[in-house]
Structure 1
Amino acid sequence: MGIKRSGRLATGMVVLVMTAAAAGSALAQPKAPAPLHVEGSAAPEPWKRYGGWNTARWDTYNTLARRDLTPPPGKEIELTGAITGDARKGQELAFSRTRGGGCLACHVMGTSTQEAPGNFAPDLSEIGTAGRTDQWLFNYVFDARVYNPETSMPPWGAHGFYTQDEIRDIVAFLKTLKTPAAFKSALDDPGKRPTPVEDRDALDPFINPAAERIEVGQALAAKTMANGKSCVSCHADPKATFAGWATSMPKWEPRLNKVLGVEEFIYRHAKATLEVDWRMQSTENTDLTIFLHSLSNGREIRVDVSSPEAKAAVERGKSLTETKIGQLNFACVDCHTPEKGALKWLRGQWLGEFRGQLDHFPTWRTSRGSGETWDVRKRFQWCAVQVRANELPPDAKEYGDLEIFLKSLNQGLKLTAPNIRH
C-alpha cells in the first residue's frame, strides 16, 4: 500500500515510513469540501420584501424566475384623423415622476425641460419636426414593441401607466417640440454633465459606516457559540485562511445543484458547524461577509468558471441579463451595455457597464435614507423592484447564475470592499 516497515527503536515501537510515491499521493489528495447545511432556504422565511421599499406587487409581469408572465405586444393601433389632445396636460404627464419616473428620466424635451434630464434615450426636443405620423407617435408611447421588440421604451399604455386619452395628450405635447433645448447649467445638460467619480476613502469608518463592521465581523468570527465552537476553532488565522477567498466566489456547488455565493455559504456553513441561524442579509451574515471580503482587498477577482456546470450557469446568467422583467419591461442589458443605456444618464443617475459593478460589494448605500449595507444579491433585488418587478429571495438560483456571470465579466479587477456608493 506504499508503506514499508523501517525497523525498531529501543522501545520496541515500529517506525512506519512513507515511500516518496505514497507521500506525493497523500499530498495530492483534495481537501474535503467545507461542511454545509444543505436543507431548506438560506433566506428569511417566509420571504418578505424589505421595509421602506415599494410594497406593491407586479404578479402579471415577468420576474427572473418566471419569464412567461408579461403579456406580449398587441398589434399597432390604427387611428382615424389627427390627434388633438391637450398639450399642456401632456407636458404635465411627461414631466411627472409619479408614473414610472416620467419621460425626462430618459429624454431631453425642448426648452421647457426641467432640471437634470437623462440622455438614456434620444433627445426629443425637435420630435415635432421629425415627420412622424400621429399614429406612429401614439403607438410608440402606447407600446413601442409593435415596432421594435427589443426596445428599451416601456410599454406605457399597454402596461397601464397611461390611458389612451392621456397618451393623446402626451402626443399633442410631443408635436409642439420643435426647438433645441436650452440648459441653465452644464449639470442640466446630460451631454456635458461630468461623470461621477467615487474617490472617498471607503475604509475610513468616519466616511463609510460599513467599514466599522469589519471589526464587528472579526469579533463574531472569534466568538464562541452555544455549541462551544467558533469560526476560529477551525480557522485559527482567518486573515491567512481567507485571503483571496472572496475573489473566487461565487462558485458552483454540486451539493446544492446551484451557484453558491459568499453570503449563502456563511449561512449554510455556520449552520452546519456552529449550529447558528445567520440567514442571508441578517446582521450577523452581513457583518461576516464584510469581514471576509475585506480580507481579499487589493486582490484580483478570479472566479472559476471552467467546469461544465459553471459554464452552464454563466450562460444562464447571461440569458437572465437579456430577460425583460417588470411593468417597465427592462432587462439588465438595457441599462448596463453601451449599445443601449450604459455610460449615459437616467435622470441624475449614471448607468455603469457590467464590468466594474461587482468589485465593490458589499457596499454602503448612501441613497437609502441614513444608509445601509447591501450585498450584491440585495442590489439585484433592488434593481427588480425599481423596474416594478417582484424580487426573488436572496438565495434564489437565478441570482446565483446572474452573480457568476457578472463576476466573470469582472475578472482581473481588484476587490475593494466594503465600499460606498450613492
Structure 2
Amino acid sequence: MSQSPYADSPLPPAHTPRAGHRTVALLGSTGSIGTQAVDVVLRNPDRFTVTALSAGGGRLDQLAEQAVLLRPELVGVATGSAEALQRAIRVASERLGAAAYEPRVVVGERASEEVAAHGADVVLNGITGSIGLRPTLAALEAGSTLALANKESLIVGGPIVTRAARPGQIVPVDSEHSAVAQCLRGGRSEEVRRLVITASGGPFRGRSRAELTDVTPEQALAHPTWDMGRVVTTNSATLVNKGLEVIEAHLLFGIGFDRIEVVVHPTSDVHSMVEFTDGSTLLQASPPTMLIPIALGLAWPDRVPDAAPAYDWSRPRTFEFWPLDRKAFRAVPLAYRVGEAGGTYPAVYNAANEECVEAFHERRIGFLDIVDTVERVVDEHHAGGDRAANAGNTPGDLDVAAVLRAESWARARAREVLGLRPALTEEPA
C-alpha cells in the first residue's frame, strides 16, 4: 500500500504554518473551483489574503478583474503575453474604479508552477487535468499546505506526490474526499472498516448500456446536480470521475481498494461516508455546493462560518442510495483495476480519457466509445514491448518523466484508435 500523506492517522493534522489569517495562492482561478474560491476569500478578508493567482488565459478579462479585486503580488497566465495581461488589469482597474495596481506577471506553461512555489500558506490547485502535477509538486516543495481540487495530479503522480508530501500537507477539496476527511475525525485509523464514496449517477442514472448508445454531448453536459466544466461534467456522465475519485481516496487515506465502495446517491446531499468496525457509519451531508469543501480546504482544520447555506431540517428530506451498475458504467471497475496496477497505469487511464472526451465533443465518437477506447488503451499499456523503455511502471521507480512518457503514449494511442472511426453527424442546428 502506498504511503498516505496523512501518515498513520486517518485525520489530516493542521499543517498550515500560520494560525488565523492565511495567505493563499489560487491556481486555475477562472475555473469553477477558482471562482468559488475567490468568492470565499472576498467574503472573509479577515481570514484570507490572496498573494498569487494563475489561470490558463482563455478568460483574460475575468483574471484581470480577479487580480484587481484581490491585488495579489504575482499573477500568472499560461497563454498570451505579459503586455496583454497588464493591459487587461489596467482596464479592469478603471472599470472598477480601483487604484492603480501593477503586480508581477509571469507567462508561459510554467506560470502556475511559479505561482504554486510563491510561498503562500495555502495553495489551492483548481487546475483541471494532469497538467496540474508540476504545480502540485511545486507547492509541496515550497512547504505550503496543498488544498487539492486537481485530483488528476495526485492520481497520475501517485507515489511521486505522496512521497513529496509531509503528513497533513495535502487537504482534499473534492467534496467526496473532504467528506471522508471530516468523517474520519470520528474514529481512529484502526477503527475504520471501509470508505463509501457516493456518486450522483450523472444524467444517465438508471439507463442500461444499450440505452447509452445515442447519447449526445449536450445530454452529457446536462448534469442534474453540479455545475462544472466540460471535462469534469462529461467524466461525471461516464463515471470516469468516480473512478478517478476511487484512486484518489486510496492515495489520500491509505485505504486498500477492497475497502473502498461506490454507491449511487442521486441528490448529492451525502458526499461520502466512513463505516467503522463496530457497525456505525458516519456521513457528511450538506447542500450540493463546493463552497464548503473549498472553504474547509483553505482553513483546515477550522471551519469558515456561513461558507454556504445549511439545510432547513424542519422540512421533510429523504436520502436514497442505490448500487452502482458496473455493466453500464464500466469506467469504475476499470479504475479499480488501474489503481491496483499502479505505476503509470492511472496516468494512461486519465490521458486516454481526456483525448476521448475531446473527440466525443467533436462528434468523432459516440458516448460509449469513450470508456471502450480508454479500456483498450489501458489493456495495451506495457503489453509486451521494451521494459526498459517502460521504466516507471512500478511505484518504486515512478518519476515525472515516466508519467509524461506514459501520458504521451496514451494520448497518441487513443488518437490512433479514434482515427479508425468515421466522423459522426454534424452538430444539430
**TM-score (structure 2 length as normaliser):** 0.21
The higher-RCO structure (CA 8 Å, 6+ apart) is 1
Name the structure where strand makes up a greater proportion of residues: 2
Larger radius of gyration: 1
